[in-house]
């Protein structure tokens, strides 16, 4: 369902076409959106065209945002109530359908990191950060390229910096008798984990393995031949069976999207799980982790307010700026670099944003 929420994607266009040819349409998902609440429009519209009016009207009625930011739901609980009242959405909990799962505990844990890893990228990262924050609007393509490279560079450095400490944390869990799914993203980080946890015969389940290799890794983990599975944050769709041998997941690296973490936890917190599930989020106080974890709070509020009105699971934190701009600003500040002068948006562009 999250891929449908991208209006420029081929999947969204295909869904609109298929829906237009069908007499009966229904969307089923546990994770309707990955990001900010404005994506709900593109999930709902193929199923019930124009039930939220046009996209511009939807933004004016339900969303808030500043120039350069993704629109957010102004009041997620009120929007969720509207969807139910109009018969657009039907929400059923596991308790209501008699399929409750054991308890799930999400545990953020601050962890140490090696400051030498971020120091090795300082020169390149400073240049990219300054490009992202530059006031000149004439080089938007260059800024987009710089943003992607900066995100990759800083998040990888953050993962490498805390990787040895993540491995030690996982070791403690395994030595206490647990089998652990350890989620990450970067190959360099996986390499450190493999070395530090070699005596537990870690198996890999990422985008680099063939289907045959992934099946072998899964079989070894279920059989107990491996005590640790190193798995990509974006891998494992449709995977089943791990819930019978594992109830502990560890996020050694973070994703920008809260729905990704939810789906990762769902690899073991699903039908057939007999034990309470623990999900540890290992967070460093340096690098990208502070910004990413804060943004996750904002995005999480968007989906929970719609799905579970009345359950205030997280305090709303409006970050007010583009997430990568925040990360760039923090990075320059931490490294004693002057921040570029803020860009001044032309009045015409401000008016265009206000109209949409």
Q: Average pLDDT of 240-258?
A: 93
Closest CA to 306 of 142, 135, 89: 89
Q: Average pLDDT of 190-199?
A: 96
Amino acid 153: pLDDT: 81
Output the pTM of the full model: 0.68
Please state, as a whole number, how many other Cβ atoms lie within 10 Å of the Cβ of residue 164.
Answer: 17
Higher pLDDT, 184 or 312: 184
Answer whether 178's CB lies under 8 Å from 248's CB.
Answer: yes
Amino acid 141: pLDDT: 64
Amino acid 179: pLDDT: 97
C-alpha to C-alpha distance for 84 and 79, rounded to whole angstroms: 9
Q: Model confidence over 87-133: pLDDT tens digits?
A: 888 877 766 766 778 888 888 888 888 877 666 666 666 676 666 66
Which of 225-229, 279-283, 290-294, 332-336 holds the top average pLDDT?
A: 225-229
Q: What is the Cα gyration radius of the chain?
A: 22
| List of E strands, the chain | 63-64, 72-73, 104-110, 180-184, 203-205, 228-232, 248-251, 277-283
Residue 238: pLDDT band by 50, 70, 90 thresholds?
A: confident
**pLDDT above 60 (res 135):** no
**pLDDT above 70 (res 186):** yes
């Amino acid at each position: 369902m999250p891929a449908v929420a991208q209006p420029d994607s081929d999947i969204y266009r295909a869904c609109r076409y298929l829906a237009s040819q069908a007499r009966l349409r229904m969307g089923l998902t546990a994770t309707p959106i990955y990001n900010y609440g404005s994506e709900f429009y593109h999930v709902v519209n193929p199923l019930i065209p124009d039930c939220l009016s046009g996209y511009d009207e939807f933004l004016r009625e339900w969303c808030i945002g500043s120039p350069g930011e993704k629109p957010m739901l102004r009041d997620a609980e009120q929007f969720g109530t509207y969807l139910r009242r109009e018969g657009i959405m039907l929400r059923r909990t596991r308790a209501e359908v008699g399929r409750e799962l054991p308890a799930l505990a999400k545990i953020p844990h601050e962890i140490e990191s090696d400051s030498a890893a971020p120091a090795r990228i300082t020169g390149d990262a400073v240049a990219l950060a300054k490009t992202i924050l530059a006031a000149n609007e004439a080089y938007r393509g260059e800024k987009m390229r710089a943003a992607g490279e900066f995100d990759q560079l800083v998040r990888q450095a953050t993962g490498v910096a805390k990787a040895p400490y993540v491995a030690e944390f996982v070791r403690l869990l395994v030595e206490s008798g647990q089998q652990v799914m350890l989620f990450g993203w970067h190959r360099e980080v996986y390499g450190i984990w493999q070395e530090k946890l070699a005596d537990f015969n870690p198996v890999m389940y990422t985008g680099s393995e063939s289907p045959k290799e992934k099946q072998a890794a899964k079989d070894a983990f279920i059989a107990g031949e491996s005590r640790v599975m190193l798995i990509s944050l974006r891998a494992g769709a449709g995977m089943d069976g791990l819930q019978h041998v594992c109830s502990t997941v560890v996020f050694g690296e973070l994703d920008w999207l809260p729905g990704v973490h939810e789906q990762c936890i769902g690899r073991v917190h699903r039908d057939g799980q007999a034990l309470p599930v623990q999900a540890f989020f290992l967070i460093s106080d340096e690098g990208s982790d502070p910004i990413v974890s804060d943004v996750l709070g904002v995005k999480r509020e968007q989906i929970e307010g719609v799905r579970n009105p009345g359950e205030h699971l997280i305090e709303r934190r409006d970050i007010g700026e583009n997430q990568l701009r925040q990360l760039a600003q923090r990075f320059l500040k931490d490294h004693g670099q002057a921040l570029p002068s803020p860009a001044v948006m032309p009045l015409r562009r401000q008016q265009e944003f206000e109209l949409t």
